[in-house]
Amino acid sequence: MTLIDGSPSVVDLSSTGCADGHVDRQRVLRIRTGVTFGLGACLWWGLQPVYFKVVASVPTLEVLAHRVVWSWVLLTLLLCLPGRGRSVIQALRHGRTLGTLVATTCLIASSWYFFIWAVTHGHVLQASLGYFISPLINVLLGRVFLGERLRRWQLTSVLLAAGGVGYLTIHHGQVPTLALVLALSFSLYAMLRKSTNVDARAGLTIETTMLLPFALLYLAHLSAEGELVFASTSRSLDALLALAGVITAVPLLLFVSAARRLRLTTVGFLNYIVPSMHFLLAVIAFDEAFTQVHMISFGCIWTALAVYSLTSRRNF
């Protein structure tokens, strides 16, 4: 990213030979732009439960089908821009990459479904728990699948998080399955996508393309049975369902732009905004119960994240 041509600061710097100053200003501008994009993406994701609450009258599977269809429409339109389709074609030429994307397609569909279900059935708090422990699940996956060695601070973080989940399980008499499913599916998805040389935009386009036939067949089935909500209730609800593509694709595009400009540690800190907003929405806006047991459990996990984040920054 460059500064605007003709800017007095550029002229002054070049006339005095202060090339380093020009580079520093470019770097600051790049970081500020990245943080802006990153905050935009995380705030958008953080508010997504509000959207799914509004369309809660629609069955979860139909909402998921609309999310796939309208995301595919938007992403395909974006591919029509010059040079945007090349990465998709390159990915489709490699069998191993395509095989990995089949797996990530299953994982992203599962993650989307369970998140929509969590919101529409009053379990946003448990969804936020899942996304809070996701970074620590990543550590365990790195140990199991990639043979990465657990450092002392990583092990401490994992044990603290496990203690929080265990405490919640003991006092509620059941494992927070939904949180663990969301954390595991999201973490596996991130790990597999990281192993493929495909950018996020192209990858999501391929994934939604793979899901598209199933989504269309399901919507056709609902229509044949007279159970399709879309185009049968109100135009406002139809418009909201069609917005599912924008709801899905826009924050992804913002986040991709941010990731290209920021360090990995900065991106990691920004990611904590999302479950924090989900947590606040669950407790304040959606009136979900937050007991002393939740406070202790979340406290353990927040402490684990603090240890993980601070020590990651030192070792980055």
Model pLDDT, residue 306? 85
* 10-residue stretch averages of pLDDT, the chain, 316 residues long: 38 49 76 88 94 96 97 89 73 83 94 96 93 84 77 84 88 86 90 81 90 97 95 92 93 82 71 90 94 92 84 56
72/180 Cα distance (integer angstroms): 28
Model pLDDT, residue 83? 66
CA distance readout (Å), 237 to 82, 111, 228: 34, 23, 12
Per-position b or e across 190-226, b if 16+ CB within 10 A of its CB: bbbbeebebbebbbbbbbbbbbbeebeebbeebeeee
Do 185 and 138 contact (CB within 8 A), yes or no?
Answer: no
Model pLDDT, residue 179? 92
Do 222 and 63 contact (CB within 8 A), yes or no?
Answer: no
Query: Residue 219 has which token pair?
Result: 């919507």
146/38 Cα distance (integer angstroms): 28
Residue whose tokens read 């904590």: 272
Model pLDDT, residue 199? 79
* Among 257, 314, 293, 238, CA closest to 66: 238
Do 68 and 211 contact (CB within 8 A), yes or no?
Answer: yes
Q: Residue 232: CB partners within 8 Å, gap ≥ 6? A: none
